[in-house]
Chains A and B, each alone.
Chain A
Amino acid sequence: MSDTSDRRDLLILGGGLVGMTLALAAAKKGMTSHVVDRADPADLTAEGFDGRASAISTASWNLFTNIGLAQRLEADASPISKIAVSDQLKPGQLDFVPDDPADTLGRMFANRTLRLALFEAAKDEPLIHWHARAGVIERRRGEHGVSVRLADGKELEASLMIGAEGRGSPTREDAGIAMANWQYDHRAIIAGLTHEKPHGQVAWEIFYPAGPFALLPLKDDADGTHRSALVWTVAERDAAGVLKLGDRAFTAEVEKRMGRLFGAITGVGPRSSYPLGFHHTATITAERLALVGDAAHGIHPIAGQGLNLGLRDVGALVQVLDDNLRLGLEPGEAQGLARYERWRGLDAFMVALATDGLTRLFGVPGETASAVRRFGMAGVQRLPVLKDWFMDEARGVSGDMPDLLVA
């Protein structure tokens, strides 16, 4: 290893929402990092690049508060006061409302808003060295440290490597970590919608045989236009067609599925899509390597909740690393990584299983299946344990919480 003058604690590969939050949270604890992302920050934050919106659970919001991000975001938050679950808009809807009306089930943000806030915060943080538009040519992990060579010849060194490049993580593949991965032949269509009536801060999960159709309440535009984020699951074979529809035809299809819940649909933003599948890695660590975010685990069963799972990884990993550093142990030290693995492995696996279960429960067509689903939902309504799990999952307070995610 050549130049060691800029050896850092962390080498974070992938500066998406999870990778960036990790760098910031680590910096708050005095840890230095390199963050490498192949994309151009200008593209990442351009209007329309990322039509996604994410629910930030109460626990994730605590994390943002603890790392000084909440003030930047507060004004753009759209609180979720209720999650309504329905089978094809038939009667027998299931409502999730927090016990305390002052409480929320999370706050909605456009991903673009989150990215901008993270970029701003990272710019002011001297402990983060950001490498944008950078491709990784070679990764090395050894007894005493890790390094990568970038396409421009630059060498970056650190104590611990972190794979945060999302679900296609080349760092995970490079480490030979295998994934259980079965495709469902489904795809989520993502788009922003504007509509006539206010959403009343309600998030909708409407189940159809092809999969859930979810509406997530966004903040009104500056001119008072009401907005929601749409996450619509369709069969893979139909996805290309749906993406290609003209705005008028697309709007008609959407209205067919959500009825007049929010009055007329007045506009549709750029559409993108996201392949869905059960995806779970057996391990999330290797020698001097930890995986976080989508690189470590698959999609969350409740639309928009994927980021929360990744932020819990961040909280747990930063706590483990901070404890290590207090004890004179390196970030890349094996016992700390084993602790991270024990802490996060089970949580991610439970979520993956729930996703699988929900997809199967709601993925069966036909009247009988629909009756069974309604019966299943009534069961959830009546079974406090299940209902609490769903609520806690939405709020992000299930499991053993990392300190950073506690108020």
Chain B
Amino acid sequence: MADARKAKLTIREDEAAHFGALAAEWWDPAGSSAMLHRLNPVRLAFLREAIDLHWGTSIEGRRPLAGKLSLDVGCGAGLLCEPLARMGAEVTGIDAAPENTAAAAAHAEGAKLDIRYMAGELAEQDIGTFDLVTAMEVIEHVADKPAFVAQLVRHLAEDGLLVLSTPNRTAQSRLLLVGAAEAVGAIPRGTHHWSDFVTPEELADLLGAEGLKMSEPRGIAFSPFKGLHLSDDTSLNYIVTARRTAPPST
């Protein structure tokens, strides 16, 4: 990956077919990303509430992000970028793996959405700042966490909103996310390394070091009746917002 920005330009015809197939796999709600598909409406519900609270948009509106620039870091095949675009944002998605962004671009074209995808490291990009920056289920895969958070904040507009979700480092998550879920194939094997997980306190410190205030974390929990849902239980997975000023009181 010498020059990530060129990755998209150098895709050949036969590779396009390959990435189309890969996109189909990523986007198959019953395929290997089934868990992400089920997680998507849950984290989008959190995101929507955060957006309306931050910008004072109507909770009924369909395009609360109209006129906003949005960056999704670790975008995969675009599961989050596409909803952000439909909510009105001008979206940039970035992912370290060029095959992910190629698959994402193939899918967006089919969905007739105009989204900019880039392959590579965020630190190498000169793309300015964004009103909304999201990094869902990414920080647990990153080696140098302070550097990663610094990069996120560097791309956040002065009055922007940052949203992060990640597994918590608890006994429960060790048992469930790394052990059971991977063993039964709900999550592809090797996806998670438990010791890399970040607790909400650690995340607040990482963000604080960059001058950001983190919100109270919301849990993403699982129950057989409700499936995945937002909850007060943060022991498995949690989602937070962060901003330069104190969050508006609810």
Chain A bound to chain B:
yes
CB-contact partner of A326 in B27, B40, B62, under 8 A: B62
Complex Cα gap A30–B47 (Å): 22
Question: How far does the Cβ of B189 sit from chain A's closest Cβ, in whole Å?
Answer: 24
Tell me if A315 counts as interface (CB < 8 A to partner B).
Answer: no
CB contacts (< 8 Å) of A324 on chain B: these are 41
Question: How far does the Cβ of B13 sit from chain A's closest Cβ, in whole Å?
Answer: 20
Complex Cα gap A335–B44 (Å): 12
On whether the beta carbons of A328 and B86 are closer than 8 Å, the reply is yes
Q: Given A4-B112, A143-B24, do A328 and B37 touch, yes or no (CB 8 Å)?
A: no
On whether the beta carbons of A335 and B60 are closer than 8 Å, the reply is no
Complex Cα gap A338–B86 (Å): 21
Tell me if A334 counts as interface (CB < 8 A to partner B).
Answer: yes
**A interface bracket (residues with beta carbon within 8 Å of B):** 10 to 19
CB contacts (< 8 Å) of A143 on chain B: these are 24, 27, 110
On whether the beta carbons of A325 and B62 are closer than 8 Å, the reply is yes
Complex Cα gap A143–B24 (Å): 8
Mask: chain B, 14-51; 1 = CB below 8 Å from A; 0 = not: 00000000001001010000000110110011011000
Tell me if A327 counts as interface (CB < 8 A to partner B).
Answer: yes
Which residue of A is nearest B84, CB measured? A328
Question: How far does the Cβ of A340 sit from chain B's closest Cβ, in whole Å?
Answer: 13
**B interface bracket (residues with beta carbon within 8 Å of A):** 20 to 34
Which residue of A is nearest B47, CB measured? A327
On whether the beta carbons of B24 and A328 are closer than 8 Å, the reply is no
Tell me if B111 counts as interface (CB < 8 A to partner A).
Answer: yes
Which residue of A is nearest B29, CB measured? A334
CB contacts (< 8 Å) of B112 on chain A: these are 4, 144
On whether the beta carbons of B44 and A327 are closer than 8 Å, the reply is yes
Residues 81-100 of B contacting A (Cβ, < 8 Å): 82-87
CB-contact partner of A335 in B24, B40, B48, B86, under 8 A: B40
Tell me if A330 counts as interface (CB < 8 A to partner B).
Answer: yes
Tell me if A386 counts as interface (CB < 8 A to partner B).
Answer: no
CB contacts (< 8 Å) of B44 on chain A: these are 327-329
Complex Cα gap A143–B20 (Å): 12
Tell me if A336 counts as interface (CB < 8 A to partner B).
Answer: yes
On whether the beta carbons of A329 and B110 are closer than 8 Å, the reply is no
Complex Cα gap A334–B29 (Å): 7
Q: Which one of A4, A143, A336 has the greatest number of beta carbons of chain B within 10 Å?
A: A143
Q: Which one of B24, B41, B84 has the greatest number of beta carbons of chain A within 10 Å?
A: B41
Q: Which one of A144, A328, A330 has the greatest number of beta carbons of chain B within 10 Å?
A: A328
On whether the beta carbons of B24 and A329 are closer than 8 Å, the reply is no
Which residue of B is nearest A30, CB measured? B62
CB contacts (< 8 Å) of A327 on chain B: these are 41, 44-45, 47-48, 83, 87
CB contacts (< 8 Å) of A326 on chain B: these are 48, 59-62
Mask: chain B, 222-239; 1 = CB below 8 Å from A; 0 = not: 000000000000000000
CB contacts (< 8 Å) of A325 on chain B: these are 62
Residues 58-94 of B contacting A (Cβ, < 8 Å): 59-62, 82-87
On whether the beta carbons of B87 and A328 are closer than 8 Å, the reply is yes
Complex Cα gap A329–B44 (Å): 9
Residues 13-32 of A contacting B (Cβ, < 8 Å): 30
Q: Given A327-B44, A327-B48, A328-B44, do A334 and B62 touch, yes or no (CB 8 Å)?
A: no
Mask: chain A, 316-339; 1 = CB below 8 Å from B; 0 = not: 000000011111111000111010
CB-contact partner of A328 in B29, B60, B83, under 8 A: B83
CB contacts (< 8 Å) of A144 on chain B: these are 110-112
Which residue of A is nearest B23, CB measured? A143
CB contacts (< 8 Å) of B110 on chain A: these are 143-144
Complex Cα gap A194–B221 (Å): 60
Complex Cα gap A144–B27 (Å): 11
Q: List 5 A-B pairs, minimum CB-CB distance, nearest first.
A: A328-B83, A334-B29, A328-B86, A327-B44, A328-B87
Q: Can you add 15 more A-B contacts, CB < 8 Å, to A335-B29, A335-B37, A335-B38?
A: A30-B62, A143-B24, A143-B110, A327-B41, A327-B48, A328-B44, A328-B83, A328-B84, A329-B40, A329-B41, A329-B44, A330-B111, A334-B29, A334-B37, A338-B29
Seen from chain A, the residues whose Cβ lies within 8 Å of a Cβ on chain B are 4, 30, 143-144, 323-330, 334-336, 338
Chosen A-B contacts, 15 in total, with CB atoms closer than 8 Å, are A143-B24, A144-B111, A144-B112, A323-B41, A324-B41, A327-B41, A327-B87, A328-B83, A329-B40, A329-B41, A329-B83, A330-B86, A335-B37, A335-B38, A336-B41
